[in-house]
Amino acid sequence: MDNFDSINLGGPNLNEPIPLGEDLDKPVPLDDAGVGGTGVSHSPLDLGGSSPVEIPKIEAPRPVAVKPAEKVVSTERITGVKTFFTKLHAGAINFLDEQITKWLTENPDVKIKRTNTVTGPIQGKKTEPNIIITVWY
């Protein structure tokens, strides 16, 4: 493929560039109007109608401002935090529900300000995935 001597490309010397015959300092024209003499018209096509068709403008509906939801939490400061966690299987999650309910009934003065639930590994005898519920009050 690299053996150009066996292919006749029409030029006597293949190591020289093909001459362009134009001034290389002139900018390249962006329009093809000078090539071949025909050129391309960029004007709108007239199909014989009485007037050009006007495209109706459609106004997009304006978005409705959404009022921020009222917060249900207390305005008092956070004074404490309690974290519950258990393994990820049905019996353990039911036990976790019972623990949280028991803690809330034993502490009726607790007003929950915020909660967070995540899953992650907790290391005991072995590392297992757990559900971790944090209650700020």
Structure tokens that stand for 28 in this block: 């390249």
Place of tokens 């036990």: 95
Examine residue 58 and state whether it is found in any structural domain, yes or no. Answer: no
User: Which of the residue ranges 16-25, 31-40, 77-86, 111-120 would you say has the lowest mean pLDDT?
Assistant: 31-40
Kindly write down the DSSP assignment for every residue of 54-77, as one continuous string.
Answer: PPPP-PPPPPPPPPPPPP-S-SSP
Examine residue 128 and state whether it is found in any structural domain, yes or no. Answer: yes
Residues whose CB is less than 8 angstroms from the CB of residue 118 and which lie 6 or more positions away in sequence, other chains included: 131, 132
Structure tokens that stand for 22 in this block: 């134009």
| Spatial contact of 83 and 133, defined as CB atoms under 8 Å apart | yes
* H helical segments located in 1-137: 90-106
Examine residue 117 and state whether it is found in any structural domain, yes or no. Answer: yes
Residue 125 has pLDDT above 60, yes or no: yes
More confident residue, 81 or 43: 81
Examine residue 86 and state whether it is found in any structural domain, yes or no. Answer: yes
Residue 10 has pLDDT above 60, yes or no: no
Examine residue 111 and state whether it is found in any structural domain, yes or no. Answer: yes
More confident residue, 61 or 34: 61
Residue 68 — pLDDT band, cuts 50, 70, 90?
confident
Q: What is the pTM of this model?
A: 0.44
Please choose, from the candidates 17, 16, 39, the residue with its C-alpha nearest in 3D space to the C-alpha of residue 29: 39
- Domain total in the chain: 1
More confident residue, 99 or 63: 99
**Mean pLDDT on 79-84:** 92
d(CA 96, CA 71): 27
- Predicted pLDDT of residue 94: 92
Examine residue 115 and state whether it is found in any structural domain, yes or no. Answer: yes
126: containing domain: 81-136
- Predicted pLDDT of residue 65: 77
Winning range, highest mean pLDDT, from 43-57, 59-73, 87-101: 87-101
Give the 3-state secondary structure of residue 101: helix
Residue 96 — pLDDT band, cuts 50, 70, 90?
very high
Examine residue 127 and state whether it is found in any structural domain, yes or no. Answer: yes
Examine residue 11 and state whether it is found in any structural domain, yes or no. Answer: no
